[in-house]
């Protein structure tokens, strides 16, 4: 159920407020473009600057707009276990298909603390859980052995791996089993990730190039790596350009170029420098998204 190209969905804003009309149009667009799922209110959805009320409303709106056409994996992580329990229980009540739970950031728990945190979330609801391991932001790395212990729980079903370490896929296959769902969290290395046994990517670039990212993923999943490499060549400049500044700002700029939402972001993020915009424009032309 959870494989292929899964955009880490931006949260559109208009004059400082969530633009729910644009959000619903984005969901329809992703369905039409062939995206295989959506992740609302992850970091790319600006979850750190959404209020709890907005967080819940965005999940509800995306679930409603998706209407069962593609799965919705709700961002529900926190570095406070009690708060994460509230978020995942709300995601379940809203009708999400799964929850994406980041390793607790800033407070740097031990591996034993990670097991306690994820076990508490597993036990508080019936939603499938995908672990989000991103040491570059959380400053804690869930080791394959720890993930293997958590994979024994029936509803901890996979990982979004943003370590950038391709060998982790093979290590996690050994520790978690071949059926454990491994999704890349890094667009530029998603090709190699799938070659090692991954089955998809929770993608920032797929906000802007959903059809290309979906076709790229489908090529890898059918084992056609020659076709996948052609897609990689088209997409690589965009992967790089979107992340010159924070990726969600790059994604929103690309969507604004396509007329799908504003490029507005919330402080402390800012809209892009003109030099960055020019590089994204060039990358979108290279990919064939704009003329």
Contact present, 169 and 196 (Cβ < 8 Å) = yes
Contact present, 16 and 51 (Cβ < 8 Å) = no
Coil, strand or helix: which one is 129?
A: strand
Closest CA to 8 of 206, 193, 183, 159: 206
Closest CA to 115 of 82, 88, 81: 81
Catalytic residue among 3, 105, 160, 279: 160
Catalytic residue among 105, 132, 231, 253: 132
**CA dihedral in degrees (130, 206, 162, 37; nearest 10)?**
10
Burial class (CB in 10 A: 0-12, 13-18, 19+), 289: buried
DSSP annotation of 259: T
Residue 132 falls in the annotated catalytic set: yes
Strands 13-14 and 200-203: unpaired
Distance of CA 21 to the CA centre of its chain: 21
Residue 160 falls in the annotated catalytic set: yes
Alpha-carbon Rg for the chain, nearest whole angstrom, is: 18
Closest CA to 117 of 126, 109, 128: 109
Vertex 263: Cα angle to 261 and 267 (nearest 5)? 130
Vertex 134: Cα angle to 48 and 158 (nearest 5)? 105
Strands 181-184 and 17-18: unpaired
Contact present, 50 and 11 (Cβ < 8 Å) = yes
Annotated catalytic sites, by residue? 132, 160
């Amino acid at each position: 159920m959870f494989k292929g190209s899964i955009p880490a969905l931006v949260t559109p804003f208009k004059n400082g407020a969530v633009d729910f009309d644009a959000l619903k149009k984005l969901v329809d667009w992703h369905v039409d473009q062939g995206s295989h799922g959506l992740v609302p209110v992850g970091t790319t959805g600006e979850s750190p600057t959404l209020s709890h009320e907005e967080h819940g409303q965005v999940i509800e709106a995306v679930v409603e707009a998706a209407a069962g056409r593609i799965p919705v994996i709700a961002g529900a992580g926190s570095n406070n276990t009690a708060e994460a329990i509230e978020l995942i229980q709300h995601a379940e009540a809203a009708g999400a298909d799964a929850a994406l739970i980041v390793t607790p950031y800033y407070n740097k728990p031990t591996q034993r603390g990670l097991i306690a945190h994820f076990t508490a979330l597993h036990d508080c609801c019936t939603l499938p859980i995908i672990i989000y391991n991103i040491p570059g932001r959380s400053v804690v790395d869930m080791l394959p052995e720890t993930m293997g212990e958590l994979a024994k729980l029936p509803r901890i079903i996979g990982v979004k791996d943003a370590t950038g370490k391709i060998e982790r896929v093979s290590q996690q296959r050994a520790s978690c089993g071949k059926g454990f769902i491994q999704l890349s969290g890094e667009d530029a290395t998603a090709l190699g990730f799938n070659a090692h046994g991954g089955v998809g990517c929770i993608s920032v670039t797929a906000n802007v190039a959903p059809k290309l990212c979906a076709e790229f993923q489908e090529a890898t999943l059918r084992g056609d790596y020659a076709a996948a490499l052609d897609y990689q060549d088209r997409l690589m400049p965009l992967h790089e350009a979107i992340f010159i500044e924070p990726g969600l700002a790059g994604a929103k700029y690309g969507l604004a170029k396509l007329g799908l939402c504003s490029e507005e972001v919330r402080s402390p993020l800012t809209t892009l420098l003109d030099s960055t915009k020019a590089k994204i424009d060039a990358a979108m032309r290279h990919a064939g998204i704009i003329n």
